[in-house]
Every structure is written in C-alpha cells, then in structure tokens.
Amino acid sequence: MQRPEPCVLQYQPGDGDPREQGQTGLRGLVRDTNVSLVSAGVGDHVIVHADYAIRILDPEEAKKTSDVWNEYFDHLDG
C-alpha cells in the first residue's frame, strides 16, 4: 500500500529533462519522485504519493504534517 508522505524536494530535473524526476527525502531516505504535477523548487515541502509529488506544503503545514508522521513512526518503532 502506498500512502501520501510529506517530503522535501532535494533535486530538481534540469530544463528539458523528459523524465521530470526529482529526488525527495524523508527520515533519511531519498527516492526518485516525478515532479511534473507541481511547480516545486529545491527545498520545498511536497506531499508524495505513488512516486509523484502531488501538492506543495507551506512550511507551517509541513511541520505539522511531519510531526504527525514522526509520532506515527515512533509508535511503530516503540
């Protein structure tokens, strides 16, 4: 099951890159992410679902969302 996750865009494809693949990071994991659906820049917080960035989050919303996910992961780890 894929779930939407908040991530930070760490790499943005160059102009004319047909793959439109950037890289996002979450909790130390980096993965390729298609950024064709949003106009995000490096450092922007995005929601990723099924390897697509689907929404840009403002910094305050990103912090709240990350706090909820961190609480969830901490619960699983504990």
- 50 vs 19, 22, 55, 59, 74, CA distance in Å? 15, 14, 13, 22, 23
What pLDDT score does 41 carry? 86
Query: Which one is the CATH code of 5-77: 3.40.50.880, 1.10.1660.10, 2.30.30.140, 3.20.20.70?
Result: 2.30.30.140
CA distance 18 to 38: 15
- pLDDT, tens digit, for every residue of 36-61? 899 888 889 898 888 899 999 998 99
Check residue 60 and give its pLDDT. 92
Task: Give the residue extent of every domain in the chain.
Answer: 5-77
| pTM of the model as a whole | 0.73
Would you place residue 16 in the very low, low, confident or very high pLDDT band (cuts 50, 70, 90)? low
What distance in Å separates the CA atoms of residue 71 and residue 12, rounded to the nearest whole number? Answer: 29
Q: In whole angstroms, what is the distance from residue 7 CA to residue 54 CA?
A: 11
